[in-house]
Structure 1
Amino acid sequence: MVNTEHLIGLGISLMVGAVIGLERGWRLRGAGEGERIAGIRTFMLIALAGGVAGLVGDRLGYGIVPVALAGVIGLIILGYRRMVRVSGDYGITTEVAAILAFLLGVLASLEEPLLAMAGGVVTAVLLGFKPRLHALLRSIDGPELRAILQLALISAVILPFLPQKGYGPWDTLNPHTLWLMVVLISAIGFVGHFAVRITGARRGILLTGFFAGLASSTALTLTLSRAARGQHSYQPLFAAAVVMASTTMFPRILVLVGAVRPEMLPSLYGPVALITAVGGLATLGLALNARRVTGAPNHPPMQKPFELTTAIRFAMLLAVVMVAAEGLRRYAGDAGVYALSLVSGLTDVDAITLSLSRMAADGMQADVAQRGIIIAAMANTTVKLGLAAGVGRGRMAVLVGAGLGAVIVAGAAWVGVTTFWQ
Structure 2
Amino acid sequence: MDIIEAFQRLSLALAIGILVGVERGWQERETAPGKRTAGIRTFGLSGFLGGLAGFLQVKLGPILPTAVFAVFGIAFIVFSRYEAEREEDYSVTSVIAALAVFALGVVATVSDMTIAAAGGVAVTALLAARHSLHGFLRNLTWLELRAALVLLAMTLVALPLLPDRTIDPWNAINPFQLWLLTIMIAAISYVGYLAIRIAGPKHGILFSGAAGGFISSTAVTLSFARLSSDNAPATHSLVAGASIAGAMSIGRALVISGILAPVIVPKLAVAFVPVILVFLSATFLMLKGAKADDKATDINPDNPFELLTVLRFGAFLGAISFVSKFTIDQIGLSAIFVVALLSGLADLDAITLSTARMAGSALTTEVATIAISLAAAANLTMKMVLAILFGSRAYATALSVTTVTALAFAAAAYFGFSALA
TM-score, reference length from structure 2: 0.76
Q: Which residue of 1 aligns with 2:304?
A: 305
Matched, 1:333 2:309: no
What do residues 285-319 of structure 1 show as CA deviations (whole Å, max 9, x unaligned)? 41575487263426544573235444544443343
- Count, aligned residues: 402
SS in 2 for 1:304: coil
SS in 1 for 2:305: coil
Output the CA distance in 2 between the equivalents of 1:415 and 1:63.
80
What do residues 213-268 of structure 1 show as CA deviations (whole Å, max 9, x unaligned)? 5652234246548866xx6xx876665444234334557879xx9xxxxx878249
What do residues 66-110 of structure 1 show as CA deviations (whole Å, max 9, x unaligned)? 333323221222122212221221211111111111222222223
Q: Which residue of 1 aligns with 2:146?
A: 146
How far is the alpha carbon of 1:148 from its aligned partner? 0.9
Structure 2 counterparts to residues 235-250 of structure 1, below 5 A: 239-250=239-250
Q: Which residue of 2 aligns with 1:186?
A: 186
How far is the alpha carbon of 1:284 from its aligned partner? 5.5
Contact preservation (8 Å) 2:17, 2:46: yes
Taking a change above 3 Å as real, the CA distance of residues 335 and 135 of structure 1, as seen in their structure-2 partners, is farther
How far is the alpha carbon of 1:356 from its aligned partner? 4.9
What do residues 157-187 of structure 1 show as CA deviations (whole Å, max 9, x unaligned)? 2223334444222454443343333333333
- Once the two structures are overlaid, the 10-residue window that deviates more, 182-191 or 113-122, is 182-191
Structure 2 segments unaligned to the other structure (5+ residues): none
Output the CA distance in 2 between the equivalents of 1:138 and 1:389.
32
> What fraction of aligned residue pairs are identical, expressed as a percent?
28
What do residues 357-408 of structure 1 show as CA deviations (whole Å, max 9, x unaligned)? 8978999979598557524422234436767998129xx94x6556434543
Output the CA distance in 1 between the equivalents of 2:96 and 2:129.
16
Q: Which residue of 2 aligns with 1:220?
A: 224
Q: Which residue of 2 aligns with 1:86?
A: 86
Output the CA distance in 1 between the equivalents of 2:32 and 2:136.
31
Output the CA distance in 2 between the equivalents of 1:179 and 1:331.
26
Output the CA distance in 2 between the equivalents of 1:251 and 1:66.
61
Output the CA distance in 2 between the equivalents of 1:190 and 1:183.
10
- Once the two structures are overlaid, the 10-residue window that deviates more, 185-194 or 381-390, is 381-390
Q: Which residue of 2 aligns with 1:324?
A: 323
Taking a change above 3 Å as real, the CA distance of residues 361 and 344 of structure 1, as seen in their structure-2 partners, is closer
Q: Which residue of 2 aligns with 1:391?
A: 393
Q: Which residue of 2 aligns with 1:260?
A: none
Output the CA distance in 2 between the equivalents of 1:403 and 1:151.
33
- Once the two structures are overlaid, the 10-residue window that deviates more, 328-337 or 106-115, is 328-337
Matched, 1:266 2:270: no
Contact preservation (8 Å) 2:381, 2:403: no
Q: Which residue of 2 aligns with 1:119?
A: 119
Q: Which residue of 2 aligns with 1:293?
A: 292
Output the CA distance in 1 between the equivalents of 2:409 and 2:112.
54
Aligned partner letter, 1:220: F
Contact preservation (8 Å) 2:172, 2:322: yes
CA RMSD across the alignment: 4.4
Aligned partner letter, 1:218: L
Taking a change above 3 Å as real, the CA distance of residues 416 and 17 of structure 1, as seen in their structure-2 partners, is farther
Q: Which residue of 2 aligns with 1:132?
A: 132
Aligned partner letter, 1:293: A
TM-score, reference length from structure 1: 0.76
Output the CA distance in 1 between the equivalents of 2:67 and 2:211.
52
Output the CA distance in 2 between the equivalents of 1:359 and 1:176.
20
